Structure 1
């Protein structure tokens, strides 16, 4: 049995009344009764928070606080708890429809987080969705709060826009994003309509039930809008129920409420949240786990750890058939393994000791964006992209391609706060890091036009009939003025290359095991593997290596500071140093303690063991390219394995072939040692 000392987030609903009648909210029900929390309960909550301060104290977890008479006086002592507990943060949600008096503005200015409910940037649409809301009231109140803080020399609250997405506003989300930027919001939080609440035949429709054209508009606005939000310093944070439903529908999938052994909902809210409602009910999550039978006379500690929430915690940690019914159908959490949830619970700082902790596993807080939802290449010549460094990151096959991709993908997610990652490399837009990148197997950008004509002609006569050598050709040709350093002074190129003997051996096995035929005779691979490998190495293998490597080597002097070449062996021996070198080369500002911590976390997540766990979690290899189920894309990455299989005759042939281009095989073979 796991109990908590105090929730991370504790909410207090001073009253459940509201001055709006939003079309999707149960408060709009004519039978809704507005309750106000009693003085005795408020006294006991005050004593509890004083003794057990949460990380965030929300002074309204329902209703509209500013419509309560004398709300400032009734909340004053709770706000004053920041004096003995300065690390405790204060939060509030409001529609900001009341014209705030000066004392109300001064009170709100004390909050750390202010969540403003706005669903549209159009006044008529906002009023239709949230009658009788007037946008000008919210705009004026935000201006009053900011003015007060500027005059007082204090930091204003962090303003977050809470937007409920329905078929009413789906086609105007781009305007909502722009409105958030214009008003100086720091975060946009999207929620889905709660369809467990009846809205009538003419009520708003959420993501599951809006028509296909409207749903496509939501996808398009998010794909186009999130980079713009990031460019304006705004974090995009979809609610879990919003993102989960969006991804299911985008992939044409239905929610699966079946749970096998070891499966559960990976949700921490029963351990991290408690909301005390005005009617005496205690809520333990945003998905509907509540207990309305609590005796108000119970100690607050007992209410935080009542039998209802204990049963939910136990059921989630047991998994399978024990997962509570309400949790099974909840869209606010993803299905995962019990080990994952147990590991996350074990990391919580406020958990009471428990003798039966389960094995810890990989903590993975991101949603995976489906391939179908990944946007195509944007126009890279727009003003926004001119402010970022254009980067090309090229690798040889089997030389750290996916390692590099996932490191930068996780790092940007950690720094920017975006809630998803993608799993296909190609074009990545990382405004939080200050660059965008083309990430492929390819030759040096512009080599054929900028290289010496005689050398280029010799190169064209080589065996290079493999798309892995120059998969970037089409994109580079379209955007030569963006990615080619001889045409764009700001362009940067990173090339990671490997000892040719290890690269050839690894690529040979990779092709043979690929789910697609890549020119390897699989019968010969099974019956005469070593002989076949040596034949491949001294012909096609070395020519494919040279066809890519020598374009970078040839351009090295001309490229100067625009080109960074890194040995794969150095990357494996000291990834922290090599990745920091790449980030510095791209001009990314990573000096702050928070960003250094993000680098350390990205390195941890992309360790070999963690990425294999990631493969197991997804049920496929990193690249989705293995021919047999259960095969991993990740191999040992060790240097020198060629010595067990490459013959002396093959080495001599490779040495001679490289010498034709002025390259010395021995210069590639030194194995670095990790410091």
Structure 2
């Protein structure tokens, strides 16, 4: 049903995680409903060989995705937003009520003025309405559709967004309070802007999950990277409200690996997020996203961030704070393949 409060929400703090989830969920729905996907790098045909091919020309990245037939609801929102039901709660902390995000994009469901024409992928129609106030009222009372947040630890998230804002073409991102972000140190950006915005988004899910654990699920980003099939199975089960097999999920994860998505963008001649065109600069996926988890974290910076966030009521025990990172698997293998490769070393 269009426009009612039954809209499941899958929100992410990492930008790269958002697109990976959009690809995987889209591929799972397409394959589950008899479609076909070809691996451009290996030649593997996935799904029904006689089924319809995935239409990348019409893929815009949502934020709504038609999931009827695979999940119980018609649409799924995948993007960045404050947890539904939190914005109209009366027990918000004072710092949340008095603050704001340092840049647009953290709260998509509450930033726009009109939701009558929200872009939809995987559908025969292009747009569908959303009734955000109805969603908020239902979620505040513990009703409505499932909600999940995939979150990264705040320092790594801020470092990634720092680079993103520095390189962005829009002044809305590369200028902060009248200063170019490129002229700021990371410490300045972290403690004067990024941590507060991170906390505003994260605390909304933390508090809603504590109040309604069956409705709101918190998922660490590290699980999505290191155990993608297992983690995505848990997410799909959450949105299905039941445990069920997902036979197409391992193939969807393989198809969504960065090397393959770059090959698709190369064939299209543009980035799938719509920000880049041309054969020489077509991908929106950066190599730094693959390598930054391998770098050690400054323990003093971490402790200072933990102190600041803890003072705002954030439960920092929920974050992964490794002193030395395990190498990233770059979303290339399913769980069984990854363990087999490790065992063979």
Task: Give the TM-score taking structure 1 as reference length.
Answer: 0.38
**Partners in 2 of 1:413 and 1:477 — Cα distance?**
23
Residues 667 and 591 (structure 1), Cα distance of their counterparts in 2 relative to 1, 3 Å cut? closer
1:489 aligns with one of 130, 134, 143 = 143
2:2 maps to: 379
Distance 1:504 1:408, change over 3 A: same
Aligned to 2:31: 414
Partner of 1:124: none
Cα 1:626–1:669 shift into 2, 3 Å: farther
Q: Check if 1:612 corresponds to 2:262.
A: yes
Please state if 1:549 is matched with 2:202.
Answer: yes
**Aligned counterpart, 1:503:** 157
Is the partner of 1:518 in helix, strand or coil? helix
Question: 3-state DSSP class of the match of 1:444?
Answer: coil
Question: Structure 1 residues 518, 533: CA separation in 2 closer, same or farther (over 3 Å shift)?
Answer: farther
Matched, 1:466 2:85: no
Q: CA contact under 8 A between 2:166 and 2:174: conserved in structure 1? A: yes
SS at match of 2:188: helix
For 2:220, the equivalent position in structure 1 comes to: 567
Change in 2 beyond 3 A, CA 1:462/1:482: closer
Could you say what secondary structure the match of 2:99 adopts? coil
- 2:66 paired residue among 417, 423, 429: 429
- The answer as to whether partners of 2:165 and 2:181 remain within 8 angstroms in 1 is no
Q: CA deviation at 1:572?
A: 0.4
RMSD, aligned CA? 3.3
| Cα shift readout 1:84-129 (whole Å, capped 9, x = no counterpart) | xxxxxxxxxxxxxxxxxxxxxxxxxxxxxxxxxxxxxxxxxxxxxx
Distance 2:143 2:315 in 1: 32
Assess, with a 3 A threshold, how the Cα gap between structure 1 residues 451 and 495 changes in structure 2: closer, same or farther: farther
**Aligned-residue offset at 1:477:** 8.2
Question: What is the alpha-carbon distance in structure 1 between the residues aligned to residue 229 and residue 80 of structure 2?
Answer: 23
Counterparts of 1:627 and 1:451 in 2: how far apart (Å)? 46
- CA deviations 1:601-640 (Å, max 9, x no partner) are 2111101211121222222233233599516322334564
Q: Which residue of 1 aligns with 2:272?
A: 622
1:128-161 Cα deviation digits (max 9, x unpaired): xxxxxxxxxxxxxxxxxxxxxxxxxxxxxxxxxx
Instruction: Tell whether the 8 Å contact from 1:516 to 1:627 is kept in structure 2 after alignment.
Output: no
Q: Are the structure 2 counterparts of residues 438 and 534 from structure 1 closer, same or farther at C-alpha, using a change threshold of 3 Å? A: same
* Distance in 2 separating the partners of 1:521 and 1:487: 39
Q: Per the alignment, do residues 403 and 606 of structure 1 end up closer, same or farther by CA in structure 2, a change over 3 Å counting?
A: same
Pair 1:543–1:410, CA change in 2 (3 A): same
Aligned to 2:81: 442
Cα 1:662–1:482 change in 2 (3 A) is closer
Change (3 A) 1:426 1:667: closer
Mapped to 1, the partners of 2:164 and 2:80 lie a distance apart of 15
**Could you tell me which residue of structure 2 aligns to residue 198 of structure 1?**
none
Q: What does residue range 132-171 of structure 1 map to in structure 2 within 5 Å?
A: none
Whether 1:660 aligns to 2:311 is: yes
Which residue of structure 1 lines up, in the alignment, with residue 170 of structure 2?
A: 516
Do 1:443 and 1:470's aligned partners in 2 also have CA atoms closer than 8 Å? yes
Report 1:49-448 matches (<5 A).
379-381=2-4, 390-398=7-15, 400-417=17-34, 419=52, 420=55, 422-434=59-71, 435=73, 436-448=75-87
- Superposition deviation, residue 495 in structure 1: 0.6
Cα deviation, residue 498, structure 1: 0.4
Aligned twin of 2:185 = 532
Distance 1:553 1:668, change over 3 A: same
Q: Is residue 199–residue 314 contact of structure 2 (8 Å, CA) maintained in 1?
A: no
Which secondary structure state, in structure 1, belongs to the residue aligned with residue 163 of structure 2? helix
Match of 1:452 among 91, 99, 108: 91
CA positional deviation for 1:662: 3.0
Question: Could you list the per-position Cα deviations for residues 336-393 of structure 1 after superposition, in whole angstroms to 9, with x for gaps in the alignment?
Answer: xxxxxxxxxxxxxxxxxxxxxxxxxxxxxxxxxxxxxxxxxx7334xxxx9xx63111
How far apart, CA to CA, are the structure 2 residues paired with 1:622 and 1:551? 30
Query: 1:584: which partner in 2?
Result: 237
Partner of 2:48: none
Q: Distance in 1 between matches of 2:79 and 2:225?
A: 19
Q: Using the alignment, how far apart are the partners of 1:665 and 1:477 within structure 2?
A: 33
- Name the TM-score, length of structure 2 as normaliser: 0.70
Which residue is 2:331 aligned to? none
Stretches of structure 2 lacking an aligned partner (at least 5 in a row):
36-51, 116-128, 327-337, 340-345
> Which protein, 1 or 2, shows the higher relative CO under an 8 Å CA cutoff with sep ≥ 6?
2
Cα distance, 1:554 vs structure 2: 1.7
Task: Give distance in 1, aligned partners of 2:34 and 2:242.
Answer: 16
Distance 2:90 2:24 in 1: 32
Deviates more, 1:481-490 or 1:391-400: 481-490
Distance 1:452 1:565 in 2: 21
The verdict on how the C-alpha distance between 1:557 and 1:591 changes in structure 2, with shifts beyond 3 A counting, is: closer
**Separation (CA, whole Å) in 2 of partners of 1:600 and 1:656:** 39
SS at match of 1:485: helix
CA drift at 1:541: 1.1
CA contact (8 A) 2:61 2:272 kept: no
How far apart are residue 472 of structure 1 and its match? Answer: 0.9
Report deviation, 1:544.
1.2
Aligned partner of 1:225 in structure 2 is none
